[in-house]
Structure 1
Amino acid sequence: MEQQQAAHSTEEVVGMVAQTFLRDRDQFIDQLSHLMRTQVPILDQDPRLRELMEAGTTDNLMEALQYLQNEAAEDDVRAPERALVYARILAQRDVPASALIRAYRVGQAGFLDTGMRYAIEFGGGGPVTTSAIVHIVNRTSVYIDRVCEQVGVAYEEERDRWVGNRGGLRQQWVTRLLNGTTTDADAAEQALRYPLSRGHLAIDTWTDPHIDPAKAVEVFDQLRAALGTVFDRALGTLLIPVDEHEARLWFALPGEPSVDSAAIEQLLADRALPVRVAFGGHGTGLAGFRRTAAQADRVRRLALLSGDHGARVLSYHDVSAVALLASDIDTLREFVADELGELAVDNERNLWLRETLRVFLAGNRSYAAAATRLGVHRNTVQYRVRQALNLIGVSTDSPGADLYPRLALQATQLLGAAVLRPESGPN
């Protein structure tokens, strides 16, 4: 054993540590991201932010492993571009810089804990192991220090730019209204030029990340104009950028509006607007301003969980129950499995069975109505419904017995694979 240990130099042990990180990269990134979200919970409030954080973490890991194995100088360390983008997005969203730096320190600790265990395993615990651990600690500390300095500068520069324009100042007013740090509605109305005492309908909207930020601003303005044709009785509108690809929009309305998601989705298609939209419910006064914004935010999170192929327009009125349940996706996945049984397995046959059963139950159990809605023969609907109920394994005939299955079916329609059970491969 001692001869085997002596055969490895410090450089070889460090190289083996790096290769093991690369081999287990995806699993390690998942664990590290979970650790950072747990210890810095303010970074775990949005699926899009989680995606950006994981992208930056992946790039930082790759760069850190390169720096670990080469002789590059401290001045050669460069923060990955996606890490800088993440810092700028946090600045735009008014997330404290301390949370960002704390996440880096948590990530550093997790990296060193795993790296030192690998070094002990490959070095055998002798002088080579000690030398390898010292090397890993020193190089990692240098890398993190330099990257934290660079992302900190990117954060501060973006923060100054963002707050320095009118949109940033208005965003600050809205942030204070939403978190309750100001209740001076009169001053807020003057700054925002928006009537806070009226009824409100909040809308979250976002573009794809590949769209140029300048183009995104134009798209959001075009969306406001397009929705103005739908809510033509509006007494005022308020458009606030959240970051370069996301915005909040409020319409001040005299009464509760009817939100036709299908019609609005067609409107977006007709005007070629590359956005997704999440509507809150209607609320009145300052409390209603906050409540409809919170509802729109829940719907947006639901839409993000559904992935790129989800509906472009969702309304809180239509998806409120699933939006509330989706705040704990693991619990929702268990609920779907419990209610749908084998119908919760993710395969093409079950997809058709779930959709047929969902339409059938939503249409007051009318085979004819379901057949018309789905564009198939009535006998096909009867066959699929029978097969679906057999897979669920319970009767839904008694009054109210179909409530939970209907909710589970709506969750699968909106979220797909995110709440379904993967199909087992061949043995």
Structure 2
Amino acid sequence: MEVEWPPVREPSAQRVWREILRPMGTQMRASASDLARRSVARMQTELPELFSDPQIVQENLVSTEASLRQLAQIIELAGDPRQVELPPSTLAIARSAVHRQVALADLMRLYRLAQERVWQWMFAHIVDKASDAADQAVALDLATGWLFAYVDEAMVRAEKAYEVEREAWLRSAAAVRAAAVEEILADRERNAQRASKRLRYDVNRHHVGAIAWVEQASEGGETQAALGEALAGLAQTLGAESTLIHSLGSLAVASWMSRRDAFTADSLDAVVRGKQVPGVIPGVRIAVGEAGRGLEGFRRTHLEADHARRVVSLVGPRGAAITRYRSVAVAALGTTDRDHALSFITWVLGPLAADDEATSRLAMTLSVYLDENRSRSRAAERLMVHPNTVSYRVHQAEALLGRSVANDSLDLQVALAMLPARPGLARPRPDEL
């Protein structure tokens, strides 16, 4: 194997690399996911204003993990970190930072924070594995060279991508439109005529807001196109006459769909029923707000879609591909305080809050049964099972609860509405790792 990194060409350095640093690279690759979470947690602590959205956290986790795997491979192969191309997810972060109006200095600060966390990990590994002081010194010198050269090159390339994107952004009408969207959502813009002109979208109409997102970028770099197609399919399903698109980063897109007349109940109910929307491919999720009118409706329907997205993120893989705010409104309200929500669910449901498939089925059946005003037949119709099955499951649920639900109070229905979000509520936040 040809050694590319000049400092490793010395015989003593090659031995230290083989015995200490190459195994460290292998371990770094295996630990990349955990190390990425710890790095992003440090970023959130130092620059919380840059992580106001769960999707931005996810973007940074994906990007950081990809960079760590790349650095690990360079160390394993004794490669030259100055010759690598940045992972697509890392470049996407730099470009999306322009759209989110993140200062370049803050973007560079994120690199430094990640570098600090990775260096601490590398230092601990070397000290643990190198018992000889001379070998330890050589290993630390080589590791420092690799890490600093990699981060320096990454920052140069990220800065270039940022500046190229920023120049194009400032020349485009998208910048004006994005600024107008942000001011409307922040309730600073209250003039409908001026807002319509800046957006090039008439706000004096009926709107439905939606957010489409994925958990990680596609390898082909077609993420934004896939999200755009999904939202176009939703607009078609809803019978929208015009659409406004607003990027929320590399993995998420917001949209407003409008028409002169109010959106029909049938079109919105189709979303609840899970009607197939053209253009929605596996992996794409959509959260939909309720219909609203005018400037306030424009703002409110987006906020509702954002709340629905948060609930879907808490539910995880079990969540539906398309979720309407009305169907999760109670869960959205109840899970705002994560710790309180988790405590409430556990207190009200007890053993019925268990996360196994069988218990989850009992809880879902009980929830539908109570929603249908304790009607076995209507619950059976919704669940597509026999009424006797509904009765059997309700009795089992009552056994787990330790009480009858014949005259139960509102807290049970609220806890059941929040229960699907329990896995996400119980997951440690990145800053708790």
**Displacement, 1:397?**
4.6
User: Which one-letter code corresponds to 1:26 in the other structure?
Assistant: S
Tell me: CA distance 1:329–1:158, structure 2 relative to 1, closer, same or farther (3 Å): farther
Q: Does 1:369 align with 2:386?
A: no
Residue 240 of structure 1 is matched in structure 2 by 246
Q: How many residues align?
A: 407
- Residues 222-371 of structure 1: matches in 2 within 5 Å? 222-228=233-239, 238-243=244-249, 246-251=253-258, 258=265, 261-264=268-271, 269=276, 271-274=278-281, 276-281=285-290, 286-307=295-316, 310-327=319-336, 329=338, 331-371=340-380
RMSD of Structure 2 on Structure 1 (CA): 3.5
**Displacement, 1:221?**
4.1
Residue 172 of structure 2 is matched in structure 1 by 165
Tell me: CA distance 1:180–1:99, structure 2 relative to 1, closer, same or farther (3 Å): farther
Tell me: CA distance 1:330–1:263, structure 2 relative to 1, closer, same or farther (3 Å): same
User: Which one-letter code corresponds to 2:389 in the other structure?
Assistant: T
Please say if residues 238 and 263 of structure 2, whose CA atoms lie closer than 8 Å, have aligned partners that are also in contact: no
Q: Percent identity?
A: 28
Residue 139 of structure 1 is matched in structure 2 by 146
Residue 412 of structure 1 is matched in structure 2 by 419
Q: Does 1:203 align with 2:210?
A: yes
5+ long unaligned stretches in structure 2: 1-11, 428-433
Please say if residues 279 and 314 of structure 1, whose CA atoms lie closer than 8 Å, have aligned partners that are also in contact: yes
**Displacement, 1:111?**
0.9
Please say if residues 42 and 99 of structure 1, whose CA atoms lie closer than 8 Å, have aligned partners that are also in contact: no
Please say if residues 203 and 248 of structure 1, whose CA atoms lie closer than 8 Å, have aligned partners that are also in contact: yes
Quote the Cα distance in structure 1 between the aligned partners of 2:41 and 2:308.
23
Quote the Cα distance in structure 2 between the aligned partners of 1:201 and 1:375.
30
Residue 184 of structure 2 is matched in structure 1 by 177
- Post-superposition Cα deviations, 1:212-234, rounded to whole Å, max 9, x if no partner, equal 644654554454344235xxxx8
Quote the Cα distance in structure 1 between the aligned partners of 2:191 and 2:285.
32
* Selected match of 2:198 from 191, 196, 199: 191
Tell me: CA distance 1:310–1:384, structure 2 relative to 1, closer, same or farther (3 Å): same
Quote the Cα distance in structure 2 between the aligned partners of 1:220 and 1:376.
33
Q: Does 1:103 align with 2:114?
A: no
Tell me: CA distance 1:20–1:360, structure 2 relative to 1, closer, same or farther (3 Å): same
* Selected match of 2:71 from 60, 64, 70: 64
* TM-score using structure 1 length: 0.80
Tell me: CA distance 1:404–1:34, structure 2 relative to 1, closer, same or farther (3 Å): farther
User: Which one-letter code corresponds to 1:362 in the other structure?
Assistant: D
Tell me: CA distance 1:212–1:367, structure 2 relative to 1, closer, same or farther (3 Å): closer
Please say if residues 271 and 323 of structure 2, whose CA atoms lie closer than 8 Å, have aligned partners that are also in contact: no
Quote the Cα distance in structure 2 between the aligned partners of 1:161 and 1:250.
26
Please say if residues 233 and 279 of structure 2, whose CA atoms lie closer than 8 Å, have aligned partners that are also in contact: no
Quote the Cα distance in structure 1 between the aligned partners of 2:168 and 2:47.
25
Quote the Cα distance in structure 1 between the aligned partners of 2:131 and 2:359.
52
Please say if residues 272 and 327 of structure 2, whose CA atoms lie closer than 8 Å, have aligned partners that are also in contact: no
Quote the Cα distance in structure 1 between the aligned partners of 2:425 and 2:58.
18
Paired residue secondary structure (2:373): coil
**Displacement, 1:356?**
1.3
Please say if residues 226 and 267 of structure 1, whose CA atoms lie closer than 8 Å, have aligned partners that are also in contact: no
- Post-superposition Cα deviations, 1:100-155, rounded to whole Å, max 9, x if no partner, equal 32222111111111211222222237233233223222321111111111122222
**Displacement, 1:406?**
1.9
Residue 9 of structure 2 is matched in structure 1 by none
Quote the Cα distance in structure 2 between the aligned partners of 1:98 and 1:404.
48
Residue 130 of structure 2 is matched in structure 1 by 123
Shifted more, 199-208 versus 62-71: the winner is: 199-208
Please say if residues 167 and 241 of structure 1, whose CA atoms lie closer than 8 Å, have aligned partners that are also in contact: no
5+ long unaligned stretches in structure 1: 1-5, 422-427
Work out which structure has the larger RCO, using CA pairs closer than 8 Å and 6 or more positions apart in sequence. 2
Quote the Cα distance in structure 2 between the aligned partners of 1:89 and 1:279.
23
Quote the Cα distance in structure 2 between the aligned partners of 1:376 and 1:184.
52
Quote the Cα distance in structure 1 between the aligned partners of 2:226 and 2:34.
36
- Post-superposition Cα deviations, 1:198-222, rounded to whole Å, max 9, x if no partner, equal 6654332347854564465455445
Tell me: CA distance 1:23–1:373, structure 2 relative to 1, closer, same or farther (3 Å): closer
User: Which one-letter code corresponds to 2:286 in the other structure?
Assistant: V
- Post-superposition Cα deviations, 1:214-269, rounded to whole Å, max 9, x if no partner, equal 4654554454344235xxxx8x7544344565232153777797586541366962
User: Which one-letter code corresponds to 1:35 in the other structure?
Assistant: R
Paired residue secondary structure (1:204): strand
Please say if residues 201 and 253 of structure 1, whose CA atoms lie closer than 8 Å, have aligned partners that are also in contact: no
Please say if residues 200 and 253 of structure 1, whose CA atoms lie closer than 8 Å, have aligned partners that are also in contact: no
User: Which one-letter code corresponds to 1:227 in the other structure?
Assistant: L
* TM-score using structure 2 length: 0.79
Q: Does 1:26 align with 2:37?
A: no
Residue 22 of structure 2 is matched in structure 1 by 15
**Displacement, 1:353?**
0.8
User: Which one-letter code corresponds to 1:44 in the other structure?
Assistant: F
Please say if residues 207 and 276 of structure 1, whose CA atoms lie closer than 8 Å, have aligned partners that are also in contact: yes
